Amino acid sequence: MAMMAYRDALNLALKEEMRRDDRVFLMGEEVGAYQGAYRVSKGLLQEFGPRRVIDTPIAEAGFVGAGVGAAMVGLRPVVEVMTFNFAVAAMDSIVNSAAKVRYMSGGQVSVPMVIRGPGGSARQLAAQHSQALEAWFCHVPGLKVCAPSTPRDARGLLKSAIRDDNPVLVIESELLYGATGEVPEAEEVIPLGVAEVVRAGRDATVIAYSKMVREALAAAKALAGEGVDVEVIDPRTLRPFDWETVLASVRKTKRAVVVQEGWTFCGVAAEIAATISAEAFDDLDAPVERVTSLDVPLPYARPLEAATVPEAGKIAAAVKRALYLV
């Protein structure tokens, strides 16, 4: 194992896949000469040249659409959006083209493309740059959605996404780009749709993804000091979703807390909670708890921002509610 930053793990995955398959290319704002807004594409232009590392105008509707077209004719584009907030400008290409072409062509035309970049909040980027919109994309048949929480998962899931013959969205976290963790020195491709039990426990199950996994683990550590043993599950892929792993854990612990950074109403956590309630109702000893951001645009002011998003203390409180300790 080697210690590696999240951004460097993504960079490694891109290099490995671009070396492996000359149909793979990267396009997006500032991915070439500037080497990426978050340095994920550092060194790629120098190694692969301007035909495979393409700087685009600030026009998501245009370059995401170009990526869809390139995928339809046999290339494998990786399209970087500087923030998923601005993928909203390309929703027609993503939802009405990328997600539907394979179905509407009867399987004759595939769209093997990846759309990747940061989603969710960072530090005082305000409401237009701080939205966790993954539920929008998970709602659409034909799209796959990943949310890696560690450098190892970032590398392995991105490699799997690039090799997939369907459009895959890899939603990263700006606050995780500098986070470090162990990454195998040998090649590792992590299958889409396989969750990971990142902490085993017996008293309650916490399901969290992306940077919320770190908050869930911090909550579990704090609760351990109070004699509460929490199991933490990272789905890693939000669509397809590994229901088997999650339901097995809930049936064991009898209690579930679902954490997401997005808003409560119609969120990913709502889908997870509803499925747990439907499929494991007789095993539950308490209602499923949800920990989400407040139902407001994210404030710019640092104290208000901190009060809006989920954090370890809120997760620990939800676990205690599930255990009837408060």
Is 129 assigned a catalytic role? yes
Q: Which of 81, 98, 101, 97 is nearest to 89 (CA)?
A: 81
Q: Which of 161, 202, 147 is nearest to 6 (CA)?
A: 147
Which member of 80, 129, 289, 305 is catalytic?
129
Q: What would the two tokens of residue 255 be?
A: 């209690």
The structure tokens 């789905």 sit at: 235
Is 271 assigned a catalytic role? no
C-alpha–C-alpha distance, residues 194 and 88, integer Å: 28
CA-to-CA dists, residue 229 to 190, 252, 256, 311, angstroms: 28, 12, 13, 18
- Residue 293 CA, chain-centre distance (Å), reads 16
C-alpha–C-alpha distance, residues 183 and 1, integer Å: 5
Which member of 29, 60, 215, 289 is catalytic?
60
Q: Provide long-range contacts, Cβ within 8 A and 24+ apart, for 47-54.
A: 47/15, 47/18, 48/18, 51/25, 52/18, 52/22, 52/24, 52/25, 52/26, 53/25, 53/26, 53/27, 54/25, 54/26, 54/27, 54/28
Provide the angle, in degrees to the nearest 10, between the axes of the packed helices 151-163 and 6-20: 30
299 sits in which H/E element:
none
**Catalytic center residues:** 60, 129
